[in-house]
């Protein structure tokens, strides 16, 4: 059996070869001729899995090593009789690490500030815990869950918009249906944001109306924005890049741990689908150790500085921001060749004030 796979999926090469013929190609360049005689695909978001790609092929199964699946035309796959799976939650901790580093980068006391989390699935639930770890007041908005679960846990979006000091989006991209999210953050939402509030988007670029956000930032009507995802990426709006506080090339979920999880879930799914029991419990054998796994904190510093130092030591978000600003045309290259980035459990904390250590423990850090 033959599998075509995105050549940027980490930890995959050499794993399936004992049982499958593997062909590795750039995800954005996989075409109908490449998959015509393939039995399965293992993809990322850059491969549009639709009728144009798959009609007339042998493909019967697609595994995407990503949480999101808006690159998969699920209706077309259903009509073509192709099964598919994604990797829900695989990089949730990675996005949480990114959000924690964004918040810590402000280097202000966060306790008492309000974090509004829009979309409370695998990733959004982690975002809630980040806010709680920092002592923030956390408001949650998730209309589909509110309809299913009821109760007072979830708040209307307009309440979050009016009250949040930081508004972070963790929703799938939905252009129709009962809860569309395309341009969810439009001009009206931006105008209703609390003065000085910051918008953060790590979900999908089209969730935020880029033109409206650019106008709001130019007018100074909101306090700032942090974007990891962009409309029309990789061809991003350079004027908007200049205006955001932090801009990164769609790598919030690109920790080494998160990518390993996505690959493992895809390999396991292939094993289940084709009945190859050797792969149903597969995970990468080991992940690279951080260059500096021990983080020493000075308890005499302000607590916000200690938190910032710990987060920055595990992930320097400013490095990714600087790379994108220096070479925005290299958006895809920066994604495809992303550096090793380990999550908090790979680090040990030494020192620090008790309240800081408590917060860092909730973020997943360990202690020397």
Residues β-bridged to residue 139: 116
Q: What is the DSSP string of 115-179?
A: EEEE--SHHHHHHHHHHHHTT-EEEEE-HHHHHHH-SSSB--HHHHHHH-SEEEE-----SSSSS
> 3-state class of 312 per DSSP?
helix
Q: Which of 204, 273, 335, 357 is catalytic?
A: 204
How many whole angstroms separate alpha carbon 187 and alpha carbon 261? 37
Which helix H or strand E contains 78, and what residues bound it? helix 74-80
Q: Which of 126, 170, 250, 341 is catalytic?
A: 250
The distance from CA 33 to its chain's CA centroid, rounded to whole angstroms, is 31
Q: Copy the structure tokens of residue 335.
A: 């994604």
Q: Is 273 a catalytic residue?
A: no
> 3-state class of 332 per DSSP?
helix
Q: Which of 206, 233, 303, 343 is catalytic?
A: 233
How many whole angstroms separate alpha carbon 303 and alpha carbon 67? 34
Tracing tokens 């954005």 back to the chain, one arrives at: 28
Q: Is 305 a catalytic residue?
A: no
Q: Is 46 a catalytic residue?
A: no
Residue 186, phi-psi category: left (phi > 0), alpha (psi -120 to 50), beta (remainder): beta
Q: Copy the structure tokens of residue 85.
A: 């799976």
- Mind telling me the catalytic residues? 204, 233, 250
């Amino acid at each position: 059996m033959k599998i075509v796979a995105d050549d940027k999926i980490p930890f995959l090469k050499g794993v399936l070869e004992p049982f499958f013929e593997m062909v590795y190609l750039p995800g954005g360049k996989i075409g109908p001729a490449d998959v015509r005689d393939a039995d399965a695909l293992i993809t990322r978001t850059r491969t549009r899995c639709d009728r144009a790609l798959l009609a007339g092929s042998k493909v019967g199964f697609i595994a995407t090593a990503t949480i999101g699946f808006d690159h998969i035309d699920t209706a077309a796959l259903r009509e073509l009789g192709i099964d598919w799976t994604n990797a829900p939650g695989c990089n949730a901790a990675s996005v949480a690490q990114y959000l924690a580093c964004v918040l810590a980068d402000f280097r202000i006391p966060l306790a008492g500030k309000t974090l509004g989390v829009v979309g409370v699935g695998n990733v959004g639930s982690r975002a809630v815990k980040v806010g709680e770890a920092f002592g923030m007041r956390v408001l949650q908005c998730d209309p589909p869950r509110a309809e299913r679960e009821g109760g007072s846990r979830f708040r209307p979006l307009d309440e979050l918009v009016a009250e949040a000091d930081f508004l972070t989006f963790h929703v799938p991209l939905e252009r129709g249906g009962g809860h569309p999210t395309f341009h969810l953050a439009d001009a009206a939402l931006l105008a209703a944001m609390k003065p000085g509030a910051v918008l953060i988007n790590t979900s999908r670029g089209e969730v935020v109306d880029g033109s409206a956000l650019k106008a709001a930032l130019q007018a100074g009507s909101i306090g700032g924005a942090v974007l990891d995802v962009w409309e029309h990426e990789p061809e991003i709006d350079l004027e908007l890049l200049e205006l955001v506080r932090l801009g990164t090339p769609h790598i919030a979920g690109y920790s080494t741990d998160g990518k390993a999880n996505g690959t493992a879930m895809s390999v396991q799914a292939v094993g289940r689908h084709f009945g190859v029991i050797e792969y149903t419990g597969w995970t990468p054998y080991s992940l690279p150790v951080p260059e500096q796994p021990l983080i020493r904190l000075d308890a005499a510093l302000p607590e916000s500085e200690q938190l910032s130092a710990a987060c920055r030591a595990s992930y320097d978000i400013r490095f990714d921001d600087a790379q994108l600003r220096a070479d925005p045309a290299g958006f895809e290259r920066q994604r495809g060749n992303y550096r090793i980035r380990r999550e908090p459990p790979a680090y040990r904390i030494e020192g620090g004030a008790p309240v800081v250590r408590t917060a860092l423990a909730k973020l997943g850090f360990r202690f020397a």
